[in-house]
Homo-oligomer: A and B are copies of this chain.
Amino acid sequence: MPFVYSRTIRFQDTDAAGVVYFANVLSICHEAYEASLAAAGIDLKTFFSGSEIAVPIVHASVDFFKPMFCGDLLAVHLHTTQTKASEFEIHYRLFGDSNLEKALSQAVTRHVCIEVKTRSRYSLPNFMHEWLHHWADNQTAAASPLTD
């Protein structure tokens, strides 16, 4: 079961071509990530201010299959996969309200846990493991030996 985030496309998301500006699709995915963290009881203000550890994004990619318009209601489906002791990926599929068969867009973000002071890799803390487990796509996870 993925985490599902509902999101209406806003005027601000669009550009002069009349559809969502490409980079904003990744921002909408990041909102889904934030919502999934909050649903796991993680305090977003503390988490994203990153005082001791942080999990910056090291890679992102996104595919666009169909344009999205102002007022469209999206369902963002989110899956997690731990790829190393200090690293995980999030996979997103964005569906229109009326069609859950064919995604409008899909994206991936890869995150690495670091100690802020040294900026070196750091094993993911327990509260992140719980969040990762909850939304894990098991088959993908099984294929990844958790070593750095």
Contacts of A61 in B (CB 8 A): 59-62
- Out of B12, B54, B59, B71, name the residue touching A45 (CB < 8 Å): B71
Q: How many residues of A contact B (CB 8 A)?
A: 43
Q: How often does this chain occur in the complex, in copies? A: 4
Q: Contacts A43-B71, A60-B61; is A14 near B16 (CB within 8 Å)? A: yes
Contacts of A35 in B (CB 8 A): 8
Stretch at the interface among A17-25, A85-93, A125-133: A17-25
- Asked if residues A11 and B21 are in contact (CB atoms below 8 Å), the reply is yes
Contacts of A64 in B (CB 8 A): 56-59
**A46 nearest in chain B by CB position:** B71
Q: Does A44 contact B (CB under 8 A)?
A: yes
Specify which of A10, A49, A50, A58 lies most central, judged by the most chain B CB atoms within 10 Å of its CB: A10
CB of A126, distance to nearest CB on chain B (Å): 20
CA distance A43 to B17 in the complex (A): 15
- Out of B22, B50, B63, name the residue touching A17 (CB < 8 Å): B50
Interface pairs (19), CB distance under 8 Å: A10-B30, A11-B16, A11-B48, A12-B23, A12-B31, A14-B15, A15-B15, A22-B26, A22-B56, A23-B26, A45-B69, A45-B71, A45-B72, A48-B71, A56-B64, A58-B63, A59-B64, A60-B61, A60-B62
Residues of A whose CB lies within 8 Å of any CB of B are: 8, 10-12, 14-19, 21-24, 26-27, 30-31, 34-35, 38, 43-45, 48-50, 54, 56-64, 67, 69-72, 109
